[in-house]
Structures are given as C-alpha cells and as structure tokens.
Amino acid sequence: MYTLIADSGSTKTDWVLLNGSTIVKQVKTIGFNPYFQSKDQIVLEVLTSLKPQLDEFLHKTSVLYYYGAGCSTLENCVMLEDCLSLTLNIRKINVAHDLLAAARALCKKDWGIACILGTGSNSCLFNGKYIMQNIPSVGYLWGDYGSGAQIGKYFIKAYFEGNLPKDLVIAFEEEGYNREAILNGVYKSSMPSRYLASVNSFVCQHLAHPFIEKLLLSCFNSFFVHQVNKYTSSKDYKVHTVGSIGFYYKDLFAQMAHEHGYEVGNVIRSPIEGLIDFHSKS
C-alpha cells in the first residue's frame, strides 16, 4: 500500500506518493490555507489539479499525512480533512500544522528552534518529538516577521512613500509595477500575502543594493526580536530555517542570527525531503 505526504504552504503544496521508501509520484499544486480559502475553493483545486495525477494510485493509498499552513486550530484541521476525504477517498488522513513538518525536517530527533521563512513565517522550540513552545505568528497584517509578505510590504511602503532609491524605482516600474497594479494585486487578490511575497522575485535580483540589504536585515531582526528571542533558554539551541526566504537570503539571515547570539543549523528550501525520510522510517 502507498503513503501520500503533503507539505502545504500558502503559496505551493508538494505532494509525494511513497511505496515504502520509494518515491512513486511527485506533484506540485498551489498552496492551501483555510484562513484564506473556502472549503469549495480547496475541493475544486484538489479535484482539478491533484486528483487526475494520482487517480491510478488512490485505491492503493492507505494513509495521507498532510502538513499545512493555517492548520493551527482543530476547526481548520477538520476542514482540510473533510476536503481531502471528499476528493481523494483515502481511508486514513492525518492533518497537522506545517510547523510540525518544519520541525521534523530540520531538527530530526534533536532539540532546536525550527523556523519557517516563506510567504509567511513561524517558529517553534522542538524537543525531537514534540513542539514544546510556539510564539504565535498572527499573519501578515500584524506579524509574519521576516517573511516574504513582510519584505514585500516594507518594499512597497518605501515605494509609495517616496523612500525607494531612484534606480530601484526605475527598475521596479520596468517590471510592470505601479500604484494601480499594486493596489489591485493586494486588495483584489484572494490571498494578499501571496501577492506581497511575490515582490521578492524583484528583491532577490537586487540583493547587492545597499537599500535591499538594509531592508532584509531589518525584517530578519524583527523576526528574532518578536519570535526567536522569546523562547525559554533560546541561546542554548541552534536555529534552523526552512522556506524560500530563509534559503535565498541565508547569508543575511545568518548575519542577523549571529548578531543576536545564535548558531545557525540546517537551512533548507523545502521540508519535503526530510518528511520523506521521516515517514519512510516510521
């Protein structure tokens, strides 16, 4: 019998079908977040984008382990479980927060501080088995420190307020950004955080610019101040991170970590490989 694993952030979902430790199929779909998407939207996306690619294997799939953004409450977990049960007809479905996926992939069986730095952000203190502490991230409006959404928000704010250097303004507008395009992207989008985070495709191209470096360091500093530093005896543990933001800006993340007195451990783009290893052995 097969095992299906899913790691879902707000932007994308990695699906891996396993037969023991052998990868049978890998699929990518958009990300799911019950805080931003309705049950109908999620069901439709799974039916159209995922199910056709897995149909021939589903009758032999005995269990699904789904780790998802926004699955931090029982209500949201039940909602995702219902969506997956309705569409995939897998008998046993386990839904957990994507933070547990990050902790298992990053820390393995050791103590550590596991961080997610992608479209959104989160962190936890992990003891090798369980999440011991979690400082709530509270989303892109009030938190998500160090995330792609915060970086995009701060960059756009500087653009709107006339604080962006002229060379960056010119390059930004040449990419098709302007006031109306940005406002439409944020306020007419079903997932504004995803649009804000998309600005990092531009930011990443200009990493050597002093303004960009300063902005990124400021966002990572806020992540340590409001998240990592608040864990009990936090300096006793390595800080690990998963997600595109932590991965592509790893040098600046490490610089800020060292300024706060931390040793950086594992830095990976996606937790899926670690989850494959974990569930293969389990």
The tens digit of pLDDT for each residue in 133-173 reads 999 887 777 878 999 999 999 999 999 999 999 999 999 99
Identify residue 16 by its one-letter amino acid code: V
128: left (phi over 0), alpha (psi -120 to 50) or beta: left
Identify the pLDDT of residue 233.
96
Q: Which residues pair with 96 in a beta bridge?
A: 67
Q: Which domains does the chain carry?
A: 2-101+272-281 (3.30.420.40)
Among candidates 60, 150, 94, 113, which has minimal Cα distance to 228?
113
3-state helix/strand/coil string of 191-206: CHHHHHHHCHHHHHHH
Looking up tokens 């530093």 gives 229
Quote the CA–CA distance of 176 and 174 in Å, as a whole number. Answer: 5
Do 68 and 8 meet the contact criterion of CB atoms below 8 Å apart? yes
Identify the pLDDT of residue 282.
65
- Given a cut of 50, the residues of the chain with pLDDT beneath it are none
Is this structure's pTM higher than 0.85? no
Quote the CA–CA distance of 116 and 121 in Å, as a whole number. Answer: 5
40: left (phi over 0), alpha (psi -120 to 50) or beta: alpha
User: In this structure, what are the phi and psi dihedrals at residue 184, rounded to the nearest 5 degrees?
Assistant: -65, -40
Classify each residue of 25-62 as buried b or exposed e, where b means 16 or more C-beta atoms within 10 Å of its C-beta.
eebebbbbbbebbeeeebbebbeeebeeebeeebeebe
CB-CB neighbours of 208 under 10 Å: 7
